[in-house]
Amino acid sequence: DVVMIQSPDSLAVSLGERATINCKSSQSLLSSSNNRNYLAWYQQKPGQPPKLLIYWASTRESGVPDRFSGSGSGTDFTLTISSLQAEDVAVYFCQQYYSTPQTFGQGTKVEVK
């Protein structure tokens, strides 16, 4: 199974400041056939199901604010919130869909400092 490790486990950021979450996979998620990285990012608020933010490592889902961006390739990926808003307080998960079983990172809790 592909192991996904996120860092840090939690971070506190001031409103308006940048938040950066890292995700590392135990094997490359880059497909040589289509040059795409098989990685998605989700946001989960308390009592709610996860919400899709980004897929193909950097494609923002429709309706997701442009302060959310994804980057990286191969085994190292980053989710960046360029200017943290109060409504962004949540747990964020990465997920690989390169191989079965699809696996998730352990989650990163983002709070306001």
| Contact residues: other proteins, CB under 8 A | 38, 40, 42, 48-52, 55, 61, 93, 95, 97-107
Tokens of 99: 């191989």
Residue 32 or 100: the one with the smaller Cβ distance to other proteins is: 100
Backbone φ and ψ of 42, nearest 5°: -130, 155
Q: CB of 62: closest distance to other proteins in angstroms?
A: 10
3-state secondary structure of 86: helix
Minimum CB separation of residue 16 from other proteins in Å reads 29
**E strand or H helix at 41:** strand 39-44
User: What's at 99, amino acid-wise?
Assistant: S
CB nearer to other proteins: give 5 or 15. 5
For other proteins, the closer of residues 6 and 84 by Cβ is: 6
Q: Which residues pair with 19 in a beta bridge?
A: 81
Q: How far is the CB of 17 from other proteins (least distance, A)?
A: 26
Looking at beta carbons only, is 16 or 46 nearer to other proteins?
46
Q: Are 79 and 68 in contact (CB under 8 A)?
A: yes
